[in-house]
Structure 1
Amino acid sequence: MSTALEWFKSSYSSSEGGQCLEVAYEDTAIHIRDSKNNPEDGPTLHITPAAWAAFTAAR
């Protein structure tokens, strides 16, 4: 990735951390990672914006 992603946590996450997902948006992909992992080399899940929309719409 040539541009640094802007990661954020959900507004539902507490300030204590530990059990949070972090998300970064791009036009062609949504990036998801576990906040407990090292952000430099931890695993990241990449999904399409359509898949993210379906996921967040499901309740």
Structure 2
Amino acid sequence: MGIISLETKKAYAARTRRSNYAASLRLEGFKVTFSDGECKMPTREEVLKTFTKTRT
């Protein structure tokens, strides 16, 4: 087997994390679609910016 790059490993981990999150939402009873597991999640900075706007 060839050597797998770090970027490939990071991309795989990100995809798996999103699909696992969508699966856990389904198990908790939320209605989610397949595309919900594939959508881009916001970065930490984007989330912090959103919440600091609403708190001020």
Rg larger in structure: 2
After TM superposition, is the score higher than 0.5? no
Higher helix share: 2
Q: TM-score, normalised by structure 1?
A: 0.34
Higher strand share: 1
